[in-house]
């Protein structure tokens, strides 16, 4: 679904339930599933999503030249079971960003921040703490 024309058709014309399942294959609480379904029912939401995907697609070729310019500590925290962006994407990203660290969350899926919030927050906190200690010394 990363090509604009396919995105536009899929987002604007697909069955809401099928689209939600494609975007978020993990089981969702009923309240969240209902909220997503109601949002996808609105044409302006679908139009916005199609345009957002087109912008994403158009920006991708430009990103590779920007990665080497990143100077801050960088963590590529990746879902080991992500079917949309498998860990090989993280490997390429880390190879392009000087000093980037890659951490794979085994068994996590694409929406890991939603499905495993405590673990993900802990990993981000640990990275930020370690990065801060390295730059400024332990307080």
- Region 118-128: what's the mean pLDDT? 96
Transcribe 43-71 into DSSP letters: HHHHHHHHHHHHHHHHHHHHHHHHGGG--
Name the band, by pLDDT with cuts 50, 70 and 90, for residue 14.
low
Q: Which two tokens stand for residue 16?
A: 């809401």
Q: Give the H/E segment covering residue 101.
A: strand 101-105
Is a pLDDT exceeding 60 seen at residue 138? Answer: no
- Region 132-137: what's the mean pLDDT? 69
Q: Give the H/E segment covering residue 36.
A: helix 30-41
Residue 109: predicted pLDDT: 87
Name the band, by pLDDT with cuts 50, 70 and 90, for residue 4.
very low
pLDDT digits (tens, 9 = 90+) for 34-53: 887 788 888 888 888 788 87
**How far apart are the C-alpha atoms of 21 and 16, rounded to whole Å?**
9
Residues 6 or more apart whose CB falls under 8 angstroms from that of 28 comprise: 20, 36
**How far apart are the C-alpha atoms of 93 and 96, rounded to whole Å?**
5
Q: Which two tokens stand for residue 131?
A: 């990065």
pLDDT digits (tens, 9 = 90+) for 77-88: 999 998 888 999
Is a pLDDT exceeding 60 seen at residue 74? Answer: yes
């Amino acid at each position: 679904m990363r090509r604009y024309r396919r995105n536009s058709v899929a987002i604007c014309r697909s069955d809401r339930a099928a689209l939600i399942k494609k975007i978020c294959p993990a089981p969702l609480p009923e309240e969240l599933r209902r909220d997503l379904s109601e949002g996808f029912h609105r044409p302006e939401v679908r139009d916005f999503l199609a345009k957002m995907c087109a912008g994403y697609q158009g920006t991708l070729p430009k990103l590779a030249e920007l990665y080497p310019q990143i100077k801050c500590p960088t963590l590529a925290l990746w879902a080991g079971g992500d079917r949309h962006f498998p860990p090989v994407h993280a490997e390429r990203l880390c190879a392009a960003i000087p000093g980037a660290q890659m951490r794979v969350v085994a068994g996590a899926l694409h929406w890991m921040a939603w499905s495993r919030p405590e673990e993900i927050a802990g990993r981000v906190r640990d990275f930020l703490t370690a990065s801060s200690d390295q730059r400024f010394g332990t307080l």
